Copies of this chain bind each other. A is one copy, B any other.
Amino acid sequence: MTQKEIARRGLMLVLSSPSGAGKTTLSQKLLSSDNGIVMSISVTTRPPRSREVDGRDYHFISEEQFERLVEQNALLEHAFVFGHRYGTPKELVDVELEKGRDVLFDIDWQGTQQLDESARDDLVKTFVLPPSWDELEMRLRARAQDSNDVVKSRMSKAVDEMSHWAEYDYVIVNRDIDHALSQIMSILLAERLKRKRQIGLSEFVKNLNPNL
C-alpha cells in the first residue's frame, strides 16, 4: 500500500481575488499541472454563449430547475448576477470529494462566505493579491479597452473584493505567475496531508501493527 493509496477525502480549494490579479490563469495552470483537482462546474439560468459547452463550462438549466435546487437545499452557494442565477450543486461536488478528488472554485467573497457556512471542513480559502495597484489597473485597462467609466467601475469592484482578503486562510501575492502557482501547489499538497482529510489513516496504522 503506497501513501497515495491511503484513502483521503477531497478538499474544496477556493481562489478569490479582484479581477486582474491573474486568478484565471492560475486556475488553468493548476488544473493542467495536477491530476487530482477538477474545476467546479456551476449551474446557471443564463443562456450559453458561443463556444460554451453544456456540462463543461456550465450546466445550463431552466429557472424552474434552479428554483427546485434552491428549495431542495441542493446548492452549496448561489447568486443572482445581471438578471441570471448561478449556483454550485452540492451533489456534483460531494461525488468528487468522496472519490478523493479536489474541486477548484473561482468565486468571489460572497460565494466563499456561503461555502464557509455549507462546507467549512472541506474548504481551503486562498486569496490572491496583485503586486501593485498600478499593475491591477493596467491589466484591467488592457483587458477592457473600454471607457474610463467602465474601468472606474471595475476598479471600485476590485477594491470591494479586495477588502475581504482577511476572511481567507491563505494569502498569496501574484508577482510572478510561476512562483504564485508553486505557492498554490504547496497549499494544495499540504492540505492533502492534513490528518483529518486522510480518512484511510486509521486503517493504515492498524495494518502497521494490530496493537495500534
- Residues of A near any B CB (own CB < 8 A): 2-3, 6, 127, 129-130, 132-133, 159, 162-163, 165-166, 168-173, 175, 183, 185-187, 189-191, 193-195, 198, 201-202, 204-205, 208-209, 211-212
Contact = CB atoms under 8 A, between A and B. Distances in A.
21 contacts: A3-B173, A3-B175, A6-B173, A129-B205, A132-B208, A133-B208, A159-B209, A159-B211, A162-B212, A163-B212, A165-B201, A165-B205, A166-B201, A166-B202, A168-B195, A169-B194, A170-B193, A170-B195, A171-B201, A173-B204, A190-B190
A175 B128 CA distance: 34
Contacts of A209: 133, 159, 162
Contacts of A168: 195
Given A166-B195, A186-B186, 19 more contacts: A129-B204, A129-B205, A132-B208, A133-B208, A159-B212, A162-B209, A165-B195, A165-B201, A168-B195, A169-B194, A169-B195, A170-B195, A171-B198, A172-B193, A183-B189, A185-B186, A186-B189, A187-B190, A190-B191
Contacts of A166: 195, 201-202
Contacts of A133: 208-209
Contacts of A186: 185-186, 189-190, 193
